[in-house]
A and B are shown apart, each in its own frame.
Chain A
Amino acid sequence: MKQFIAFVKKEFHHIMRDNRTLLIILGMPVVEILLFGFAINMEVQDIRVAFYDPTPDDFTTGIAERIRQNSYFNYQGKMQSMEEMEESMRKGKLDLAVVFPQKFQESMVHSGKAAVQLLSNSSDPNRGSISVTYASAIIAGFQQEQADLIQIPFRIETENRMIYNPLMKSSYMFVPGIMGLVLMIICTIMTSVSIVREKERGTMEVLLASPLKQGTMIFAKTIPYMVISFIDFIIILLLSYFVLGVPVNGSLLLLFLVAILYITLTLSYGLTVSTLVDKQVNAVIFSATTAMIPVLMLSGMIFPIDNMPMVLQTLSAIVPARWFIEAVRKVMIQGLGITMIWKEMLILIGMILFLLGVTIAKTKKRLE
């Protein structure tokens, strides 16, 4: 036990005395939140929209009215023909075209369904897809309203806000993503580097030749990073809440639980990486490539998973951050309880066990 504590102390010394790295791991979350919060505006504004409505009725008018009144949209007018619409889009004068079929309301009432075509100018794919998303949301809202004829208006509105906000306000989308990214970087990269550094510097030799158990050493090395990453998690939470106005609707305790699970997972991954590489530089590259990039691209942090091709969606399933982000969104933004995130938590636990298993199997008690 004394060995363990001495080792943990040593690890804290190393971290505290490395000013540059300390600045990065404590400053990074702050920088990212502020960047994403203020500088990078993922929202799409000023969507130029036009309608093609051959047989206007209450429904189509209702929907069109909704869209027109939405501040993100910029109403361009009614088109007289599909050709006009295509011409406008080709000339770059139109971002989104909403095309209603013939006799929309009639179809809805008689057969229970009707389709609306949304054509977006996807020369900027991001903008294009988000325009469609916004418009779909509005339409879905309209539909919901029609379905809930018994509901009291203000009740409906409240529900709308909750469901649609994650799409409208990008900060709701990326705050969990930033958490996932930052924690991954700190825990995976830093932990793996810390262990590999001992190998590179030669001190690993001396440790191996002592009665210290490998398990004690590994565990002791993860403790400081666990502490730091938890502090970072709290920093992110505080900044998001007070500076960006992101709510914490669910149980704080549950949120912490999810965070701890995820932190454990990223630490485990760092340990796994350390058994695979021998040089610090390789640890960084390996961690960055296999951890950071998938998190940025596939976890749903920036790009919505549902919009991805099937192949990538499947790939996204093995990116731990994806499940973490989903769980955090559900708890933090939607205020759901543990029963709704059991799937995510189970997957995270499974990944932890797998990674720890690999680590234990590959940890050597000798130099070779």
Chain B
Amino acid sequence: MADTQQDQVPVTVLTGYLGAGKTTLLNRILSEEHGKKYAVVINEFGELGVDNDLVVDTDEEVFEMNNGCICCTVRGDLIRIVGGLMKRRDKFDGIIIETTGLANPAPVAQTFFVDEDVKARTRLDAIVTVVDAKHLPARLADSAEAAEQIAFADVIILNKMDLVTPEEAAEVERLIRQINRFAVIHRTERASLPIADVLDQGAFDLQRVLESHPDFLGDDEHEHNEDVSSMSFEVDRPLDPERFNAWIGDLLAQKGQDLLRTKGILSYEGDDRRFAFQAVHMIADGDFIGPWKGEERKSRIVFIGRNLNRPQLRRGFEACQAS
């Protein structure tokens, strides 16, 4: 596999409950001077205050793939829209996809793994979830989607910080960390933050996450098996690609329903390039992303999902090391 990321259009998926501040963020992205142009795919036309010929209005059309994967759903409208946008590829630098408030992020993420044309021409840069700091605890209590949107996120924008006390802020951040310890969290008011913190994150490159979160691999004190939680593992010796593929393939096939996201940076035996692996439920994808540079050659993997069995996952990952 070649290092093809450069030619592919970066795609940012923007999720979050109605009223969390997605539209405010989109308006900022479209109106601020940042020297780049983004094609924006939205569901409710007219909410945006900015007139832009690159805004695309769509209906979310989720359908099941007939590929034997019971939970494999994709967004058919996005397949068509990405195909259409490629006809004027030179007019924009990236694509931003807004999902409706109640949407499960899995179908949109899976679209970028499953459709061969979309996969060839785009790369999922990051899933960004906008969260209302004041109302998140209530949302988490009354809906499964709120937890899933946090679980899927690479970047979380903790918005409306002006409406909460420091204690409430600490509590909401604790709740987020319980679900997803690996997302980058930005605290904002009126979704105000540098655009560079949202777009072009290369978020599945775990290296960046590690740089911003030195405690990334710290042990989780709070494990709630039925709730969504996150775990990570690290091994020193290079992996045997065949063993890893066999193990992860089996794991995703059996536990894919519970595994919302899986991400890894892997050191393969006999290859001096980093291998980036990621999966959404059962659908996996991987590619070499350039050489190891100076850093320790360790393989790291992250699981975000329900019913995670720490000892089992650790033993499985460790057994993938080349002997």
> Are the chains A and B members of one assembly?
no
- B interface, CB within 8 angstroms of A: none
- A interface, CB within 8 angstroms of B: none
